[in-house]
Amino acid sequence: MTKGAPILGIGAGLVLFFALVFSIVSTGHEARADTTPLKISIGYISEAIPEPDPLSLVEIVPKDKGIAGVRLGLEDNNTTGKFLKQTYEVAEKVIPAGGDLHQAATELTSAGIKLIIANLTADRLLELAAYPEMQDAVILDMRTQDDRLRSDDCRANVFHMMPNRAMKADALAQFLVSKQWMRWVLIEGSNPDDKAFADAIRRSAKRFKGDIVEQRTYTFAAGSRRTDTGQAQIRKQMTELTQRLPDYDVMIVADESEVFGDYLPYRTWDPRPVVGTSGLVPTAWHRSLEQWAGTQIQRRFIKATNRPMLERDYTGWMSARAFGESVTRINTADPKAIRDYMLSDKFELAAFKGVGLTFRHWDQQLREPILLASPLMLVSVSPQEGFLHQRTPLDTLGFDEPDSKCRLNP
């Protein structure tokens, strides 16, 4: 998808942005027979779980990861909404770690707010979705990557904005297969999220005929993440972890916990590329994206926050925009009407990816291209050329309908 794609500067980005605004306003006026003001309240629920410091001191630890994207999305909604006499506001509920999620949900629903953006872990998201007052709500999941939430644990009131691990693993596998790098070594961490991504890689290997020639687990005891990083960690541990391997083309690392993966590039025993959660990474968003007017939103986000847009900021922005797009098109904030519209063939979200994004009706996962990026550069975008599907190439990523255990909207 990246071959021949134009690189757009700020001028072209603004042209596309205002063209989008004009399109929305024009169709919105057709849909609105009257000009009665419409106020749309969106709830944002998050849990203040401390995130570990990154291994590198050059990486920032933002305090507003996720909500900053939601706020920018609300700003965009209000930019178009003022032409239609629509105003958007967000009620932010941030509970402490292990706090009372039910109380936060009750406060929102008591205020009549049933459009919810959730920045929660998988178990807490399921807890939120199960509350009686949330059964007629629309919950946009901007955080979780868990495959089980798109499978056995899918819920009718939850839509997923973040790509799940199966989508990311398939995006990476397609790239490796397109490069003819067919022999893989898989190194996984010992934490549950590490193992979950490793399971997704194993699934992708079977799907795309990749050959995992060896699998290893990083089991060294970690010390202080930033001070205990001397030669023992860099030389001895990485050498012991990666030597005496069979012949292979690429090393795939599954280290979502960020314990050891960033030490692997250039420190493997054999001179091989590193991909996965370190090195070349599959992600919904990356700060290097310039195509499809990506420069425009990148610069607006930096101006608002003084930092680059991260993946969860992007899914937060998409969540706010998904609600805004739906309300603009159907002229109502009724949760049932919005849910029906988002699942219809008429819904399409413009999100700086070169194609309109839609929801899969069977598991309510957002279809979207996956970026493959090194720390500073965009390398490719999946689905890769040549991977075809009868519906859309985007359904070659993740759980296609015949493979899914979720049947929310048959």
Model confidence at 9, pLDDT cuts 50, 70, 90, reads very low
What is residue 7's three-state secondary structure?
strand
Strands (E), 228-268: 250-254
What is each CA distance from 54 to 110, 227, 256, 327, in whole angstroms? 39, 12, 11, 39
3-state helix/strand/coil string of 27-95: HHHHHCCCCCCEEEEEEEEEEECCCCCCCCCCCCCCCCCCHHHHHHHHHHHHHHHCCCCEEEEEEEEEE
69 shares a domain with 36 = yes
Closest CA to 369 of 353, 391, 358: 353
Can you tell me the distance from the alpha carbon of 226 to that of 191, in angstroms, rounded to the nearest whole number? 19
CATH code where residue 61 lies: 3.40.50.2300
Q: What pLDDT does 363 receive?
A: 97
216, β-bridge pairs: 187
Per cent of the chain over pLDDT 70 is 88
Q: What pLDDT does 25 receive?
A: 45
109 shares a domain with 192 = no
Can you tell me the distance from the alpha carbon of 114 to that of 112, in angstroms, rounded to the nearest whole number? 6
Q: Is the pLDDT assigned to residue 52 strictly greater than 60? A: yes
212 shares a domain with 226 = yes
Provide the number of structural domains found in the chain: 2
Q: What pLDDT does 34 receive?
A: 56
First to last CA, the chain: 31
Report the residue count for the chain.
410
Q: What pLDDT does 71 receive?
A: 98
Listed residues 253, 283, 313: the one ending a domain: 283
Listed residues 260, 283, 306: the one ending a domain: 283
In a domain? residue 72:
yes
Supply the pTM of this predicted model. Answer: 0.90
Listed residues 283, 305, 334: the one ending a domain: 283
pLDDT tens digit string along 329-362? 999 999 999 999 999 999 999 999 999 999 999 9
pLDDT tens digit string along 145-197? 999 999 999 999 999 999 999 999 999 999 999 999 999 999 999 999 999 99
158 shares a domain with 51 = yes
16 shares a domain with 156 = yes
Q: What pLDDT does 221 receive?
A: 63
In a domain? residue 401:
no
In a domain? residue 404:
no
Structure tokens, 76: 């965009």
In the predicted model, what is the mean pLDDT of residues 35-40?
87
Q: Is the pLDDT assigned to residue 19 strictly greater than 60? A: no
182 shares a domain with 131 = no
Can you tell me the distance from the alpha carbon of 385 to that of 378, in angstroms, rounded to the nearest whole number? 16
112 shares a domain with 180 = no
Q: Is the pLDDT assigned to residue 233 strictly greater than 70? A: no
Q: Is the pLDDT assigned to residue 3 strictly greater than 50? A: no
Strands (E), 218-313: 250-254, 274-276, 281-283
Q: What pLDDT does 61 receive?
A: 85
Q: Are 197 and 277 in contact (CB under 8 A)?
A: yes
In a domain? residue 389:
no
In a domain? residue 392:
no
Q: What pLDDT does 204 receive?
A: 98
In a domain? residue 116:
yes
pLDDT tens digit string along 308-328? 999 999 999 999 999 999 999
94 shares a domain with 230 = no
| Domain interval for residue 245 | 166-283
236 shares a domain with 151 = no
In the predicted model, what is the mean pLDDT of residues 290-296?
95
Question: Given the DSSP bridges, would you call strands 281-283 and 370-373 parallel, antiparallel or unpaired?
Answer: antiparallel
Can you tell me the distance from the alpha carbon of 242 to that of 251, in angstroms, rounded to the nearest whole number? 9
292 shares a domain with 248 = no
127 shares a domain with 15 = yes
- Which residue, chain included where needed, has tokens 């049932």? 336
In a domain? residue 396:
no
In a domain? residue 376:
no
Q: What pLDDT does 27 receive?
A: 47
- Of 97 and 59, the structure prediction assigns the larger pLDDT to 97
49 shares a domain with 125 = yes
Query: What is the residue-averaged pLDDT of the chain?
Result: 90
